Structure 1
Amino acid sequence: MRRRTDVFSPEKRSEVMRAVKSANTGPEIALRRALCARGLRYRLHGALPGRPDLVFARARSVIFVHGCFWHGHDCPRGRRLPKANAAYWRAKIARNRARDRKALVDLNRLGWRALVLWECELKAIDRAARKAAAWLSRGAT
């Protein structure tokens, strides 16, 4: 089987990859709007382990919005790796997953609860917002 080359030049591929955002992504903004509509208030990108996307300080709870590809979710999008440089991508995503696990452990040690919502879950934004709201209410004291 012949190896397929990248459709972009190295310079263009670099530009495309630089444009990938780590904060204020579409799924994250959709979740924020849905939670705000439910009257839930939060802080953004707190200075806590893993830099959570949403921080609910009074409840000592955080929410991470993970992209399925970048964080290696077990869904069709998360399982699909680029064919070019596959070893690099396997290692990269494994490092991301290890970093995510460490952040969750560190947050727990500091007395924080964490919920991870996946990009694919946010396709049904109302269901994801209900899940987050229910999770937050269970932790309220």
Structure 2
Amino acid sequence: MKKLLVLFLGLILIVACKKDEVAVEKTTLEYLTGTTSKKWKVTEGMVKLGETSINLVANQPPCVTDNILVLNSNKTYELNEGASKCDPSKDPDLIIKANWTLVEEPKAITIDKFIFLGYVLENSKFVISSINDNQFIGQTDVMLNGKTYQANITFSVVN
């Protein structure tokens, strides 16, 4: 009986002394770039025009929607053609390479130059509303037909 009691007390001590694991939250930079770089693609781009919402991505051909954004931890980025090209004889593999900056409060990135669905966005600020390992969502301004609209854009990780 004494041995059983010693064994029982030993088990209680082992369980009681087990360290609790502390979840370490990643920084915005780590979510966006991993340790060195991370690949993303636009999976949704909603713009509200008055009472109507338009998904800018839904009606685009795959040669546009499969383009890959590579964010590097050194604050450079590349926009690359995806698996399909709209004009294989003219479309380069590397569409653009430039720089980006990160602001933590509120979470936002500014991209020197970005080409989105045929639109060129210069020094575009993208305010991040949600971010995790698999996607980030945010808002940016886009100009359509001379008017500025807010676009809600979702980027999903590419494996």
> Fold conserved (TM > 0.5)?
no
Higher alpha-carbon Rg: 2
TM-score by length of 1: 0.29
